[in-house]
Amino acid sequence: MLCRALKVSKITIREAMKLLVNDGKVVRIPGKGTFVSKPKLEQKLNNFFGFSKWALQNGLNPASRLRNVETLESNSHIAKHLGITAGDPVTGIERLRLGNDKPLMFEEIWISGSLCPSLHLKDIANIPLNEIITNDYEIPLLRAVESIEPKTAEDYVARLLRMPATVSLLSVEYTAYTTDSRVVYFVISSYRGDRVTFSVEITST
């Protein structure tokens, strides 16, 4: 059909489709066909990130599904990121973030148990974590450091995000700080690479 409509060869159509797939304009789903990709959601890296506000700004109805909350002993990897000693208590949180009932991001969050005791008893599913920390624990959030890299999704995360095998994962490590450069929490957020893009505004000094 496209060959007749555009008056080009099948080879030209195939090469054009490859370019569109590489550019993220269309997506191929094995056994189903080729479809136009949904517009990506832009996340700006200039301010503290709040999922609910970000989703609303993109015209989506935000929701969270709490997968797990527990208090446990920190391993050496998490302790290093939080600036505590391995074996110290931490609260670990896993939650799935959705926009219009479709999964966009999976979060793994760790917070020192001594800094925010009994955090597992708070309404983490419905109240933004930053609000709980600043209001309930009176801890000011002053700055954050963020790093982003593409990764291959583990099976567990891929299932939660309903990711086709052709879609890449964007892994974001986020560390929030309070006064005296003390770490408040450490987060690993996994985004569907076909739904989200990141931007940062740079100004001259």
Rounded to whole angstroms, the Cα distance separating 98 from 191 reads 11
Distance between the two ends of the chain, CA-based, in angstroms? 55
The domain total for the chain is 2
pLDDT tens-place string over residues 100-139: 998 999 999 999 999 999 998 998 888 889 999 999 999 9
Residue 157 domain-assigned?
yes
Whether residue 146 sits in one domain with residue 100 = yes
Indicate the SS3 state at residue 3: helix
pLDDT at 201 over 80: no
Whether 116 and 160 share a structural domain: yes
User: Which of 78-83's residues contact partners 24+ apart within 8 Å by CB, and which partners?
Assistant: 78/110, 78/186, 81/110, 81/175, 81/183, 81/186, 82/110, 82/111, 82/112, 82/183, 82/185, 82/186, 83/182, 83/183
Distance separating alpha carbons of residues 8 and 17, to the nearest angstrom: 13
Using the predicted structure, report yes or no on whether residue 38 has a pLDDT greater than 90. Answer: no
Residue 1 has pLDDT above 70, yes or no: no
- Residues 32, 45, single domain; the answer is no
Whether 168 is in a domain gets the answer yes
Is residue 205 in some structural domain?
no
Q: Are 151 and 189 contained in the same domain? A: yes
Based on the fold, state whether residues 77 and 17 are members of the same structural domain. Answer: no
pLDDT tier for residue 85 given thresholds of 50, 70 and 90? very high
Are residues 82 and 157 both part of a single domain?
Answer: yes
Residue 204 lies in a domain: no
Residue 63 and residue 142 in one domain: yes
Assess whether 22 and 49 both reside in one domain. Answer: no
Question: Does one domain contain both 13 and 81?
Answer: no
Residues 19 and 62 in one domain: no
- Residue 14 in any domain: the answer is yes
Let me know if residue 78 belongs to a domain. yes
CB 139 within 8 A of CB 166: no
User: Quick check: is 122 in a domain?
Assistant: yes
Region of 82 (left: φ > 0; alpha: ψ -120 to 50; beta: rest) is alpha
- Report CA-CA distances (Å) from 126 to 43, 108, 114, 130: 21, 16, 23, 12
Contact call for residues 192 and 167 (beta carbons, < 8 A): yes
In terms of pLDDT, which residue wins out, 85 or 202?
85
Q: Within a 13 Å sphere around the CA of 190, how many CA atoms are in the beta-carbon half?
A: 23
Identify whether residues 21 and 67 lie together within a single domain.
Answer: no
Pick from 187, 150, 154: nearest CA to 169:
150
* Domain harbouring 78, CATH code: 3.40.1410.10
Domain with 177, as residue range(s), is 38-199
Do 105 and 6 lie in a common domain? no
Please report which helix (H) or strand (E) contains residue 189, including its range. Answer: strand 183-192
What value does the mean pLDDT of the chain take?
83
- Position 94 in a domain: yes
More confident residue, 82 or 53: 82
Cα gap 13→126, rounded to integer Å = 48
Per residue in 135-154, pLDDT (tens digit) is 999 999 999 998 999 888 89
Residue 199 has pLDDT above 80, yes or no: no
